[in-house]
Chain A
């Protein structure tokens, strides 16, 4: 091989970068986060359900929150009619976080795991949580 030193160095750097996730994670246990719904407000509920079905909330909550933001802030509409006809107050702090008062164990557990950083809390006050 000609210029073997330089080429092998290049190959080494390539392999080191390309396989980094493998040798950095090998053998590590990776438990998926389980967002906790164990809060006093939820415990008090007779029927433990969110405003929409769980599957919908899981995949669409970010879009719903975005619609709520537009409805409340831009259109002044503070009433949300859920799929089952129930009416809810459009408010992150007073509706969502009333039940899900455990932001760290609920919101952040998945968001941190998946590297998602929503900008809700740029404007909203994050709930105060006892540590």
Chain B
């Protein structure tokens, strides 16, 4: 249901942009207004989400440990899986962000002869790596549309990406890998029953959207052929705040831009914010030094307490009168002392004296 809903929404988005440009002629709306709004929503939204997270306290040191803790000198510490210093944390975060180390530990479970069996499940990790890295390279390749002259690292990326020299324009491997990987991630949600059970529209929508973005991009480059010089004229107009809509850019370009804009605007309010959230994961970014450093809960609220001592101070007399034992008996007044001990001082009973 979630899948069908997401699919229909993406199709509607495509139709909306296509009809808006091809039939109604709203090029400047889909080519200028929407991208500006989307980028603004993206930037403000991401900053808002991160600051909101930053305001959340971490009550406990809840670092996830995956190896031997720092202990006695002769016990080897797993410095990356159980870091005790900031350097170790940086190393662990880098591995997590660049190589998805914890996803590498992914397991799958299945029933075998009536018994639950667990095994290593690396396909998700492989597809996630392929997907994210391809997406990054695809994104960086697009810098060619936003910088004049084109930075040399973009040319280098393009020559590496197209090094197989298939066809003209050269086939970019990352485009193909991106589409294959995201298709795997989608099919996984369809065919792995446990995953399908927990999949929601919010899981399917980004996948369909990214598939649509990649497909329109590939169609535009290899099949429908938009005029790249006019496209760059438009994109350079956007980044120089001098927007223009060149004539003769195909509708597929506006569909692509509209889908990308949707992705950007949707980003801060969705699961896609894991891109920013991973940096703020307490289980990852805390050092496991809870035996060496006290983690003070910043959330400790100044609670108004009434300790037992204060309670006893308040009710001591009544407690004594009621015969309840108290911790601190009141110091007796001179009169009481005299009453209690005065006679003794005056003299003991005559009979007892020796």
One of B106-114, B149-157, B180-188, B306-314 at the interface? B149-157
B47 touches A113 (CB 8 A): no
One of B128-136, B239-247, B346-354 at the interface? B239-247
Interchain Cβ contacts within 8 Å, total number: 101
Which residue of the partner chain, among B149, B167, B246, contacts A66 with CB atoms under 8 Å?
Answer: B167
Is A114's beta carbon under 8 Å from chain B?
yes
A30 touches B148 (CB 8 A): yes
One of A13-21, A41-49, A78-86, A87-95 at the interface? A13-21
**A115 contacts across to B, CB distance below 8 A:** 144, 150, 154-155, 158
B229 touches A110 (CB 8 A): yes
Distance in angstroms between the alpha carbons of A11 and B165 in the assembled complex: 39
Q: A14-B46, A62-B169 are in contact. List 17 more A-B contacts (CB 8 A).
A: A2-B56, A7-B51, A10-B50, A15-B43, A24-B147, A24-B239, A25-B148, A28-B148, A30-B233, A30-B236, A30-B237, A59-B225, A114-B144, A114-B145, A115-B150, A115-B155, A116-B169
B165 touches A119 (CB 8 A): yes
Is A40's beta carbon under 8 Å from chain B?
no
Q: Which of A's residues lie within 8 Å of B, judged by CB?
A: 1-4, 7, 10-11, 14-15, 18-19, 21-22, 24-30, 32-33, 58-60, 62-63, 65-66, 110, 112-119
Residues of B20-60 at the interface with A, using a CB-CB cut-off of 8 Å, are 42-43, 46-47, 50-51, 54-58
Majority secondary structure, A binding face: helix
How far, in Å, is B337 (CB) from chain A's closest CB? 58
Distance in angstroms between the alpha carbons of A117 and B230 in the assembled complex: 18
Residues of B224-276 at the interface with A, using a CB-CB cut-off of 8 Å, are 225, 227-230, 232-233, 236-237, 239-242, 246, 276
How far, in Å, is A115 (CB) from chain B's closest CB? 3
Is B168's beta carbon under 8 Å from chain A?
yes
**B148 contacts across to A, CB distance below 8 A:** 25, 28, 30, 113
B149 touches A112 (CB 8 A): yes
A63 touches B168 (CB 8 A): yes
Which residue of the partner chain, among A3, A28, A33, A117, contacts B229 with CB atoms under 8 Å?
Answer: A33
Instruction: List 9 A-B pairs, minimum CB-CB distance, nearest first.
Output: A115-B144, A115-B150, A62-B168, A21-B146, A59-B225, A66-B168, A30-B236, A7-B54, A25-B240
Q: Which residue of A lies closest to B224 (CB)?
A: A59
Q: Which residue of A lies closest to B237 (CB)?
A: A30
How far, in Å, is B315 (CB) from chain A's closest CB? 41
A2 touches B46 (CB 8 A): no
Is B98's beta carbon under 8 Å from chain A?
no
Q: Which residue of A lies closest to B52 (CB)?
A: A1
Assess A21 versus B279: contact at CB under 8 Å? Given A11-B47, A30-B236, A66-B167.
no
Is B87's beta carbon under 8 Å from chain A?
no
Distance in angstroms between the alpha carbons of A32 and B46 in the assembled complex: 33
How far, in Å, is A82 (CB) from chain B's closest CB? 19
A25 touches B150 (CB 8 A): no
Assess A26 versus B47: contact at CB under 8 Å? Given A1-B55, A2-B54, A115-B158.
no
